[in-house]
Amino acid sequence: MRILFVASEGLPFSKTGGLADVLEALPKALAAQGHEVAVVLPRYRGTEAAAVVIPSLTIPMGGARLRFPAIADGAVGGVRYFFVDDPAYFDRDGLYGSGGKDYSDNAERFAEFCRAAIEVAKHVWPADVFHCHDWQTALVPVLLRTSYSNDALVKNIPVVFTIHNMGYHGQFSREVLDRVGLPPTIFHPEGIEFFGSVNFLKGGLVYSDYLTTVSRKYAQEIQTKEFGHGLDGVARKRADRLVGILNGVDYGAWDPAKDPLIAANYSAKDLSGKHLCKKDLLEVFGLPPEQLERPLIGIVSRFADQKGFDLIAEKARELMKEDLVLVVLGTGERKYEKMFRALAATFPGRVGLKIAYDNVLAHKVEAGADVFLMPSRYEPSGLNQMYSLKYGTVPIVRATGGLDDSIEPFDMEHGTGTGFKFVEYSGEALLYAVRQALHHHMDERIWKRIQLNGMAKDFSWKGPAREYGNLYEAARVARGFAPIAQSVEKVRKAHKTERIEKTEKVEVLESAEKIEKDEKVQKVVAVETVERIEEAGGSERPPRRGSRKAAQAAGESSQEPGPDTKESGQASRGAEQLVREKEQTSQEAGQVADSEQSVQSLGQVSDEAAEPGRGNREEAPHRSRQTPGNKGEAAGNQKPVATSN
């Protein structure tokens, strides 16, 4: 299946949060399972591309206004990437805003991006399904069912839409309809209207074929007022098309045993390298080596209320009264950046701070920290807590969403559990969980038990990728496409099973024939032996002639047979019957082989038919270029647009 991802960020090119990690790992996992996968991203500042696929693409906006972005491409790990290149929109300091404020033209920026993604599927890379992510790409399904509803090349392409965070809506004034060229007919309560405003996320929820969230629990939570952010009613209406699939971890990139970005590799069998990673982490953050024996708490996050930083701000000074070292990496709301700077100035040598996104440093924090802190108000899935488990870095989390699903509280009595959790959203509950972790850290034996429990967990992407593959097929069926790939595979499996059974039957018949022949040979030898004995003993019985003996053994005598001859004749007739059955079965096996070739041909035709529009529309032009791997990262990343209702 040809799957086209559309997202506003993705590693190794750009990142502000966990979305970028998913967009790096999931496409690779799907490609490893035999799918063809491509990803459309904005070309942010610092993102290099291998070649230009379309030098100038005409994108209509509101009124008579047009924009002319280029489409560049690249490839990483078996996945093809397309970049929407419009420097006026995307060559900026941040991805979504700057100085703690959203860009005022975000609606126009991502409306153009969505239209360009559809044009990629139309002119460059025909897709069987779109997989869109968060509000920045929510106009893809809206446009397909409205502006492109008469375009035979793309109008029937199904859309799977993933909600990574229900708190970010992409909410704008009604005038945006005119500015981005959306038809006014969709501005109503059953469309994208949201209390008098235009809500991009709601458009994705309403117009997509299937919806997913990044954990099963979060799929339930967004249907409640507490976590639905005003769209819980829409989520409940789409409950029959809403699926929760827990995010996985890319262990190809996040495994301390082979991570090239950390100071020393280590594993559950030998944790000694983690001590060297901690020493390296202190050096990188400018902290003295004397802190090596103190427990080190690490934070890698976007600085936002949702992530629980208000709890840290409330208890920051009390927290620093404990015997610990704090290392913080991230960007986000200015008030929290200011708070951490003040904390580092107040506790020099004990608080290390980097206000930035840095993937290398993120790996170093995971490997070098003793504890990883995630006190989120809500967390749809979370990835860092699962990274932490693999790296033997014990997580402290609030029991919400994916954090609650993936972390088991440590049980001292039974020696089970992988971390520490608190339920109540309060500074006191956070502080208590930290103190509990610090207490157990004092006992090396207990601490190692918690580490090993976590390192034994498996959150790979293989399972989630299979679930998404099934969902893509369901979305195609919902759009009227036959599940061709599955049908062909079932036929192939059936013929393979039949062929095996036929082969086994031939082998059994050949074995039976061999046994019969062996028995006849043994009978002949026995008769000859008896004759020799009789002759040697002077027996008065007339010697048996060799010709008659052989004829009797083969059942060829026309005379009335004796007992031995009857048995030989029966064996011969049985052997002849087996030979006839063998010949018949061999013919059947040949027919199966011919049938298998036909199935393979059917598979080729079916694969072609699975392309969107085969049988429904004309084939779109398809261009292909060889491209190199990672072409850089976006610099100066900022937080996602905080436009929640």
Three-state SS for 435-450 is HHHHHHHCCHHHHHHH
2-248+469-478 is classed CATH 3.40.50.2000:
yes
Every domain range in the chain assigned CATH 3.40.50.2000: 2-248+469-478, 272-458
pLDDT on residue 415? 95
Asked if pLDDT for residue 598 goes beyond 50, the answer is no
Determine phi and psi for 64, rounding to 5 degrees: -100, 10
Beta carbons of 294 and 323 less than 8 angstroms apart: yes
pTM of the shown model: 0.67
Query: To the nearest whole number, what is the mean pLDDT of the chain?
Result: 83
The number of beta carbons lying within 10 Å of the beta carbon of residue 178 is 13
Domain 272-458: state its class. Answer: alpha beta
Please give the span between the terminal C-alpha atoms of the chain, in angstroms, as a whole number: 37
Q: Name the residue with higher pLDDT: 49 or 453.
A: 453
Beta carbons of 116 and 140 less than 8 angstroms apart: no
Residue type present at position 119: E
Q: What is the pLDDT of residues 539-562, one digit of tens each?
A: 444 444 344 443 343 344 334 444
Three-class secondary structure of residue 81 per DSSP: strand
Asked if pLDDT for residue 341 goes beyond 70, the answer is yes
Percent of the chain clearing pLDDT 70 (strictly above): 75
What is the four-CA torsion angle of 14, 19, 24, 27, rounded to 10 degrees? -130
In order of 28, 231, 360, 391, the CA distances from 266 in angstroms are 25, 45, 17, 9
pLDDT band at 643 (very low <50, low <70, confident <90, very high): very low
Q: What is the pLDDT of residues 173-196, one digit of tens each?
A: 999 999 999 999 999 999 999 999
Residues 317-327 have a mean pLDDT of 97
Beta carbons of 95 and 641 less than 8 angstroms apart: no
Residues 479-503 have a mean pLDDT of 56
* Rounded Cα distance, 344 and 27, in Å: 39
pLDDT on residue 146? 96
pLDDT on residue 63? 82
The greatest distance separating any two alpha carbons of the chain, rounded to the nearest whole angstrom, comes to 124
Bridge partners (DSSP) of residue 422 are 398
